[in-house]
């Protein structure tokens, strides 16, 4: 089947610096999501930011305004809210066991409160415990299990985000224990920090570890976004682009919008004789009601 689900991760939580094209306010994030949907994205993956500082935020009011604006627009798109925030630990040099400035460690309930309140179509569920940049991302199995419970009770479809092979082994173990529903939908992250490298060999290996019958997608970070999109399509996976992962159309050419990244992704998929799935088709492919 040549239909592929294209997700657009519209903003992320990383510092934006002088990248003024990255959406910050709930209105900007909603408008960028709507633009990406009109360009061909079936799914929009959403973080929110503090409208004043531009820093990543977990504030429910920003999620609520963003989601309501998208829903009120009448544009059909699957909304995917992150639960990855709240797992950042930055050790202090003098006392490594003490969280330093920039650490954001939250409870399972705090990390999923917006999902419970807003009931999006999809939410991410991260499995990585790894070193990224100058901080560690920590997702204990017990917390993953608790978050999965809140997500399940809310009736939201979880996207399993895996950053290396061990994450897949953990997910499979939790599926085997009945904590998670299998076979699942896995999003393979390529090129983040010290996780899985962006290469064909990595995709093939990670794909080989997935539970039988699992749906899967993969994406590359920064300059590897479009090369990994093409390889993922050829290997049978769903695809993703967006400012969270990459802010350039090509070397030295900033993307003016998320929609522009989606349009380039569409051209690549169609040049390989594929088609992007509509939101209705994406729901059917993933088994999501509504």
Token code pair at residue 259: 């929609």
Task: Give the SS3 label for residue 44.
Answer: strand
Q: Is the pLDDT of residue 1 over 60?
A: no
Work out the average pLDDT over 160-170.
Answer: 98
Residues whose CB is less than 8 angstroms from the CB of residue 150 and which lie 6 or more positions away in sequence, other chains included: 108, 109, 112, 115, 116
Pairwise CA distance, residues 129 & 245, whole Å: 19
Work out the average pLDDT over 164-189.
Answer: 97
- CA nearest to 150, candidates 174, 105, 106, 114: 114
Q: Is the pLDDT of residue 219 over 90?
A: yes
Q: What percent of the chain has pLDDT over 90?
A: 93
Mean of the per-residue pLDDT values for the chain? 96
Could you tell me which residue, 107 or 135, shows the higher pLDDT?
A: 107
Tens digits of per-residue pLDDT, 33-45?
999 999 999 999 9
Q: Is the pLDDT of residue 20 over 80?
A: no
Token code pair at residue 59: 């504030």
Pairwise CA distance, residues 139 & 119, whole Å: 22
223 secondary structure, DSSP code: G
In sequence order, which ranges of the chain are alpha helices (DSSP H)? 26-39, 60-73, 108-118, 141-153, 165-176, 200-209, 225-234, 258-271, 279-286
Q: Is the pLDDT of residue 200 over 60?
A: yes
Q: Is the pLDDT of residue 128 over 90?
A: yes
Quickly state the pLDDT bin for 276 (edges 50, 70, 90).
very high
What pTM did the predictor assign?
A: 0.96
Burial class, 40, CB count within 10 angstroms (exposed 0-12 / middle 13-18 / buried 19+): buried
Q: Is the pLDDT of residue 252 over 80?
A: yes
pLDDT of residue 290: 52
Could you tell me which residue, 148 or 133, shows the higher pLDDT?
A: 148
Work out the average pLDDT over 164-190.
Answer: 97
Token code pair at residue 83: 């639960």
Domains of the chain: 3-286 (3.20.20.70)
144 CB-side CA count, 13 A: 28
Pairwise CA distance, residues 40 & 22, whole Å: 19
pLDDT of residue 124: 98
pLDDT of residue 63: 98
Q: Is the pLDDT of residue 17 over 90?
A: no
β-sheet bridge partners, residue 275 = 3
Q: What percent of the chain has pLDDT over 70?
A: 99
Q: Is the pLDDT of residue 19 over 90?
A: no
Tens digits of per-residue pLDDT, 46-103?
999 999 999 999 999 999 999 999 999 999 999 999 999 999 999 998 999 999 998 9
């Amino acid at each position: 089947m040549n239909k592929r689900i294209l997700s657009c991760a519209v903003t992320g939580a990383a510092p934006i610096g002088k990248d003024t094209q990255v959406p910050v306010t709930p209105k900007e994030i909603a408008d960028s999501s709507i633009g990406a949907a009109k360009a061909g994205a079936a799914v929009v993956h959403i973080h929110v930011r503090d409208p004043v500082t531009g820093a990543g935020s977990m504030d429910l009011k920003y999620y609520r305004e963003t989601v309501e604006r998208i829903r009120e627009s009448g544009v059909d798109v699957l909304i995917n809210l992150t639960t990855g925030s709240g797992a950042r630990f930055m050790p202090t040099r003098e006392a490594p066991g003490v969280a330093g400035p920039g650490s954001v460690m939250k409870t399972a309930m705090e990390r999923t409160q917006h999902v419970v309140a807003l009931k999006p179509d999809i939410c991410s569920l991260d499995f990585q415990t790894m070193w990224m940049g100058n901080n560690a991302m920590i997702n204990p199995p017990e917390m993953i299990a608790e978050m999965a419970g809140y997500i399940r009770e809310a009736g939201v479809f979880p996207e399993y985000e895996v950053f290396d092979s061990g994450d897949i082994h953990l997910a499979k173990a939790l599926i085997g224990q009945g904590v998670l529903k299998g076979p699942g939908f896995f999003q393979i992250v390529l090129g983040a920090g010290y996780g899985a490298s962006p290469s064909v060999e990595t995709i093939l290996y990670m794909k080989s570890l997935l539970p039988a019958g699992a749906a899967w997608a993969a994406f590359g970070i920064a300059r590897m976004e479009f090369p990994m999109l093409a390889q993922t399509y050829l290997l049978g996976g769903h695809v993703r682009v967006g400012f969270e992962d990459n802010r350039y159309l090509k070397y030295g050419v900033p993307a003016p919008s998320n929609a522009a990244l989606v349009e380039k992704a569409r051209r690549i998929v169609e040049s390989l004789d594929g088609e992007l799935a509509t939101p209705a088709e994406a729901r059917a492919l993933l088994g999501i009601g509504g």
